[in-house]
């Protein structure tokens, strides 16, 4: 963020902390508080849209898959020492999916299904757990296949909360963006990616293909 950006945010009465949250600072207290912060936001959100290009969305992860992913992040962030507590918190967060007054629309790039982030058996279990989410309901799962025609590049992952807040991240920080122009940009990107997604039986075929690949 530039000095001009910082000055503009200050002028708008918004602090740098609400925009930019370094992982070094957040993880100083462990991963669990990060999960709890997302859980708190989840309780405020009625409609969530997300795109994940590299891994299964946290709200759809099995405990074993989550444990494996969080353990791998210790390679980059060695201060992480509470993986088990973070996994427990992530599983607790998933209860929000059972609230049918809320809606969730997940878009996932096919690459997330074939990335070797856990053992093959654990990945197969993770993929099979997604199949029930392909049925109609308050949770909608769309998959962007490798061979889809893309109107925009896959880019980075992000989530949109009630069309008012975007949460995205990089290796060094997590950004919570509530500027209307920033939100509108991500909505346009999400809508463009959604045009390339498949659902139902076609999505099931992608998952089945990934299950076969997990064992090869």
SS3 115: coil
Please state, in angstroms and rounded to a whole number, the distance separating the CA atoms of residues 21 and 152.
Answer: 27
Q: Has residue 15 got a pLDDT over 60?
A: no
Angle separating helix axes 63-73 and 83-93, nearest 10 degrees: 130
Q: How far is CA 68 from each of CA 74, 188, 208, rounded to the nearest angstrom? A: 10, 32, 21
Q: Which residues pair with 142 in a beta bridge?
A: 107
Average pLDDT, the chain: 88
Q: Has residue 176 got a pLDDT over 50?
A: yes
Whether residue 102 contacts residue 46, with contact meaning beta carbons closer than 8 Å, is answered with yes
Provide CB contacts within 8 A for 100, sequence distance 6+. 137, 138
Phi, psi of 149 (to 5 degrees): -75, 120
In the structure encoding, which two tokens stand for residue 162, read together? Answer: 């009630």
Q: Has residue 164 got a pLDDT over 80?
A: yes
Q: Has residue 18 got a pLDDT over 60?
A: no
In the structure encoding, which two tokens stand for residue 23, read together? Answer: 């992982």
| pLDDT tens-place string over residues 98-147 | 999 999 999 999 999 999 899 999 999 999 999 999 999 999 999 999 99
In eight-state DSSP terms, residue 93 is H
> Once rounded to an integer, what is the mean pLDDT over residues 137-166?
95
Q: What is the pLDDT of residue 39?
A: 87
Task: Tell me which residue of 167, 150, 149 sits closest to 158, measured CA to CA.
Answer: 167
**pTM assigned to the model:** 0.87
> Once rounded to an integer, what is the mean pLDDT over residues 167-193?
93
CATH number of the domain located at residue range(s) 15-214 in this protein: 3.30.870
Q: DSSP readout, 148-209?
A: S--SS-----EEEETTTEEEEE-SSEEEEE--HHHHHHHHHHHHHHHTT-B-HHHHHHHHHH
Task: Tell me which residue of 187, 195, 144, 181 sits closest to 162, measured CA to CA.
Answer: 187
Percent with pLDDT over 70 in the chain: 91
Q: Has residue 5 got a pLDDT over 60?
A: no
Pairing of strands 158-161, 139-144: unpaired
pLDDT band, very low/low/confident/very high, at 3 (cuts 50, 70, 90): very low
């Amino acid at each position: 963020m530039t000095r001009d950006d910082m000055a503009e945010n200050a002028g708008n009465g918004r602090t740098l902390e609400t925009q930019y949250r370094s992982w070094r600072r957040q993880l100083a207290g462990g991963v669990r508080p990060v999960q709890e912060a997302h859980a708190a936001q989840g309780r405020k959100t009625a409609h969530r849209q997300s795109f994940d290009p590299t891994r299964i969305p946290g709200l759809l992860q099995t405990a074993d898959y989550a444990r494996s992913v969080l353990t791998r992040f210790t390679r980059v962030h060695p201060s992480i020492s509470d993986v088990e507590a973070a996994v427990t918190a992530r599983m607790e967060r998933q209860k929000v999916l059972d609230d049918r007054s809320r809606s969730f629309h997940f878009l996932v790039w096919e690459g997330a299904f074939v990335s070797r982030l856990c053992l093959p058996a654990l990945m197969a279990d993770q993929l099979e757990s997604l199949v029930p989410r392909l049925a109609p309901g308050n949770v909608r799962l769309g998959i962007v296949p490798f061979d889809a025609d893309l109107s925009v590049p896959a880019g980075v992952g992000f989530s949109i909360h009630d069309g008012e807040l975007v949460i995205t991240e990089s290796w060094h920080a997590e950004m919570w963006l509530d500027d209307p122009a920033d939100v509108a940009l991500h909505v346009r990107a999400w809508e463009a990616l959604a045009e390339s997604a498949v659902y139902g039986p076609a999505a099931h075929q992608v998952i089945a293909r990934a299950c076969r690949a997990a064992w090869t």
